[in-house]
């Protein structure tokens, strides 16, 4: 059996459990990380990850759906599930005062801006890949990630008393 994502996904769709386990093992952590960064909740992130991985099996389209690489497909499904069903406010017990401020600031971001920020700054995806996942142009993705960073910088500067001037 070939080890490419597309081959494993196709084998999984045909009922090969070993292929699905191999694919799920390969992609669980990256998809979970995105879902967790979108919600801050472990149970929600695990549920989104599971549903994203199972989405490839349920697709009636020939593999890969819409010609996208498997990574892009999984990230797109995870982001859209998180946006559609995710909590709008995350309530975490901060382990430090600074981390609590960051989470509070992240809660205030527009959800698509937050998704763009997660994909660009945390996952280090290209503008093209992040835009494809979000269903936006690279220019809009850049604008959303930049706006989120500016908002966080300003908000965190205000709450921590830091000066934003040079």
pLDDT of 9? 82
Going by C-beta distance under 8 Å and a sequence separation of 6 or more, which residues neighbour residue 89?
107
Q: DSSP for 24-65?
A: HHHHHHHHHHHHHHHH--HHHHHHHHHHHHHHHHH--SPSSG
Rounded average pLDDT per 10-residue block, the chain, 166 residues: 81 86 90 88 88 78 66 88 69 48 80 93 92 95 92 70 42
- Overall pTM > 0.75: no
Whole-Å CA distances, 62 to 51, 78, 106, 118: 19, 20, 37, 29
Q: Which of 110, 109, 108, 142 lies closest to 125, judged by CA?
A: 142
Q: Which of 91, 87, 114 lies closest to 104, judged by CA?
A: 91
Q: Could you tell me the two tokens for 26?
A: 């390969």
pLDDT of 159? 54
User: Right CATH number for 94-166 from 3.30.420.40, 1.20.58.410, 2.40.50.100, 1.10.10.10?
Assistant: 1.10.10.10
Question: Taking the domains of the chain in order of start, what are their residue ranges?
Answer: 1-87, 94-166
User: Right CATH number for 1-87 from 2.130.10.10, 1.10.10.10, 3.40.50.300, 1.10.1740.10?
Assistant: 1.10.1740.10
* Dmax (CA) of the chain: 60
Matching residue, tokens 């937050």:
114
């Amino acid at each position: 059996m070939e080890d490419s994502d597309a081959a494993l996904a196709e084998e999984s769709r045909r009922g090969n459990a070993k292929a699905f386990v191999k694919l799920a093992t390969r992609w669980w952590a990256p998809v979970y990380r995105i879902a967790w960064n979108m919600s801050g909740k472990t149970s929600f992130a695990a549920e989104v990850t599971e549903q994203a991985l199972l989405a490839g099996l349920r697709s009636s389209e020939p593999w890969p759906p819409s010609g996208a690489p498997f990574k892009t497909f999984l990230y797109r499904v995870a982001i859209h599930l998180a946006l559609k069903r995710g909590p709008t406010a995350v309530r975490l017990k901060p382990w430090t005062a600074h981390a609590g401020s960051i989470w509070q600031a992240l809660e205030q971001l527009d959800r698509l801006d937050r998704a763009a920020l997660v994909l660009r700054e945390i996952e280090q995806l290209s503008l093209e890949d992040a835009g494809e996942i979000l269903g936006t142009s690279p220019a809009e993705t850049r604008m959303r990630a930049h706006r989120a960073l500016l908002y966080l910088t300003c908000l965190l500067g205000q709450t921590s008393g830091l000066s934003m001037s040079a």
